């Protein structure tokens, strides 16, 4: 009987005590270096958005809808307090300020309205083109699709760079790492891949998302200007968390990029996201982790740094037909020090991705653009993601170039070389020259096929090595003007049929006759 009376009294008390509301409001007890310690949020959950309330007596909904709303992200759940990173102007957060629980994880607006825009980590506009109107919101962190929901990568995403499309093919849904020292052209490769999507049919053209993490704002502005000039911003979103942005926004920016890409993938479309770069994201996360008093591990990075990158990159996928068949392709960028790929962050990301494009500072300094090291670059998807035409012409290039690089090193010490070795070195030099490409000038894949086919079938054998690039330009001009049907055929079928190769062989003979000035008399 006593127990029943106690329960009734307890229920009556609960009517007058709004405990649930009290549990949703906390107070800042300490703030510094972008981290606020909050007491009172007993029901807070990890990655929850909290609202720093400096707006007076407004309701939660009114405060959240305000343009001046300042949010935090809960990252530490401790015994008597929670720690949240401030997503914005830290100076607005003061000790004693009220903090309200929003009850939802960090979400950003997504949708078509983001195309052509430059936004920050929270998808707020940075380009002065007005607010972004979107009814769709998506959490920036979510579980990656499982094995059953995926299918194997089988469709290429052409970068427009001969050396990559021929030797290190990238498929839709793949994760291909771009790695190399500072100033070796990593960003250039990624931007060329965005520019080249202009050459793809509009119905299959991937939506491109470029995420700039810790980059100088001047560099990002230059990239946006380049994309606008080429008309590529129509299908591109730029997410910028500059070097001046708080560490929290730099660490979250790649997740925002993945979320924007997933919106299109979930609707059966293709998306390409570039993370430039994950080294700086790792540094921002290390900074936050040390401020949150998490124990440091190797090189002072926290123990879950591998999980940070794996849960980001696992979101790239090629979905099964039942799920709509969309894809999200990831091109993460990692910066190395003196070519050291064995340090902590590079080895982590190499083990997560499906291959890497290694850019070598030595080749770059010799004038090879792009400076791709064939021996260290690999695509684990391989020729599954190549068109049959590219597979037919690109198969032998990789071995030939790798052999040439070895012989080139050996040649420095050798006095006499036999004729076969001389011939191989000469052929390798011309092939290396043929694969050079100017920045911002990606080639449609059908032109790449015709160019490489001519190279491996001896069209440039009688030309001086330094004239190969000029001769290639004239050859492509000639075939575009005189034999455009060949290019259309390769583009539409993706194959190199016998009839097509006969046409190209015939065109090569005609080209030699009409461009005698290019071919030297000392033909080898």
List the one residue out of 383, 240, 258 whose CA is nearest residue 331. Answer: 258
CB neighbours of 246 closer than 8 A, spacing ≥ 6?
34, 85, 86, 87, 88, 90
Residues 6+ apart with CB under 8 A from 165: 156, 158, 159, 386, 390, 394, 445, 448
Helix, strand, or coil (residue 74): strand
Task: Calculate the alpha carbon distances from 254 to 238, 251, 404, 412, 519 in Å.
Answer: 11, 7, 39, 45, 50
- d(CA 223, CA 225) in angstroms, rounded, equals 5
- Integer Cα distance of 236 and 221 in angstroms: 14
Task: Provide the β-strand partners of residue 101.
Answer: 50
Give start and end residues of each alpha helix (H) in 111-246. Answer: 162-167, 186-196, 217-229
Among 182, 222, 298, 380, the active-site one is 380
Let me know how long the chain is: 524
Helix (H) or strand (E) holding 6: helix 2-16
Backbone angles phi, psi at 335, to 5 degrees: -100, 130
Side-chain-side CA neighbours of residue 517 (13 Å): 2
- Is 92 noted as a catalytic residue in this protein? no
Distance separating alpha carbons of residues 288 and 24, to the nearest angstrom: 25
Residue partners of 253: CB distance under 8 A and separation at least 6: 121, 211, 212, 213, 239, 240, 241, 281
Dihedral angle of Cα 58, 60, 66, 67, to the nearest 10 degrees: 130
How far is residue 358's CA from residue 383's CA, in Å, rounded to a whole number?
A: 18
How far apart CA 320 and CA 447 sit, in angstroms, is 31
Exposed, middle or buried: residue 501 (CB in 10 Å: 0-12, 13-18, 19+)?
middle
**φ and ψ of 477, to 5 deg:** -60, -45
Interacting residues of 7 by C-beta distance below 8 A, sequence separation 6+: none
Q: Which two tokens stand for residue 498?
A: 């016998």
Q: How many CB atoms lie within 10 A of CB 522?
A: 7
DSSP characters over 368-408 = -SS-B-TTT-EESSGGGGS-HHHHHHHTTHHHHHHHHHHHH
Active site residues: 380
């Amino acid at each position: 009987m006593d127990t029943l009376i106690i329960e009734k009294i307890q229920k009556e008390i609960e009517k007058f005590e709004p405990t649930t509301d009290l549990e949703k409001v906390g107070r800042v007890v300490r703030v510094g270096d972008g981290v606020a310690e909050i007491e009172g949020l007993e029901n807070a959950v990890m990655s929850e958005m909290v609202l720093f309330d400096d707006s007076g007596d407004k309701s939660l909904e009114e405060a959240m809808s305000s343009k001046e709303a300042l949010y935090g992200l809960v990252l530490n759940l401790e015994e008597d307090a929670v720690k949240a990173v401030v997503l914005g102007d830290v100076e607005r957060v003061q000790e004693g300020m009220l903090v309200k629980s929003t009850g939802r994880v960090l979400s950003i607006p997504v949708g078509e309205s983001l195309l052509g825009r430059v936004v920050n980590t929270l998808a707020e506009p940075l380009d002065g083109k007005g607010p972004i109107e979107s009814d769709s919101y998506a959490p920036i962190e979510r579980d990656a699709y499982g094995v059953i929901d995926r299918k194997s990568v089988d469709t290429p995403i052409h970068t427009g760079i001969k050396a990559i499309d021929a030797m290190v093919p990238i498929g839709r849904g793949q994760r291909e790492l771009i790695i190399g020292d500072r100033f070796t052209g990593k960003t250039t490769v990624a931007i060329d891949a965005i520019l080249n999507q202009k050459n793809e049919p509009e119905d299959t053209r991937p939506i491109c998302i470029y995420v700039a993490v810790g980059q100088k704002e001047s560099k990002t502005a230059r990239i946006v200007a380049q994309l606008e000039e080429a008309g590529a911003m129509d299908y591109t979103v730029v997410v910028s968390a500059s070097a001046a942005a708080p560490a929290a926004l730099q660490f979250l920016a790649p997740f925002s990029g993945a979320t924007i890409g997933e919106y299109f993938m979930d609707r059966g479309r293709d998306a390409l996201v570039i993370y430039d770069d994950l080294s700086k994201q790792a540094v921002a996360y290390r900074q936050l982790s040390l401020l949150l008093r998490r124990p440091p591990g190797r090189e002072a990075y926290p123990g879950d740094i591998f999980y940070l990158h794996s849960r980001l990159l696992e979101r790239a996928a090629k979905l099964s037909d039942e799920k709509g068949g969309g894809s999200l392709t990831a091109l993460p960028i990692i910066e190395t020090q003196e070519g050291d790929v064995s340090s902590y962050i590079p080895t982590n990301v190499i083990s997560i991705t499906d291959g890497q494009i290694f850019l070598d500072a030595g080749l770059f300094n010799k004038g090879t653009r792009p400076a791709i090291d064939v021996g260290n670059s690999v695509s684990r998807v391989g020729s599954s993601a190549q068109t049959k035409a590219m597979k037919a012409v690109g198969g032998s290039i990789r071995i030939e170039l790798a052999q040439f690089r070895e012989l080139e090193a050996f040649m420095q010490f050798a006095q006499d070389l036999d004729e076969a070795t001389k011939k191989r070195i000469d052929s390798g030099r011309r092939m290396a020259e043929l694969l050079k490409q100017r920045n911002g000038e990606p080639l449609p894949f059908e032109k790449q096929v015709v160019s490489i086919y001519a190279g491996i079938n001896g069209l440039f054998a009688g030309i001086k090595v330094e004239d190969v690039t000029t001769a290639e330009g004239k050859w492509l001009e000639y075939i575009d003007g005189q034999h455009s049907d060949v290019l259309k055929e390769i583009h539409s079928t993706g194959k190199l049929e016998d009839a097509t190769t006969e046409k190209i062989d015939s065109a090569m003979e005609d080209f030699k006759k009409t461009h005698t000035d290019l071919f030297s008399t000392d033909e080898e």
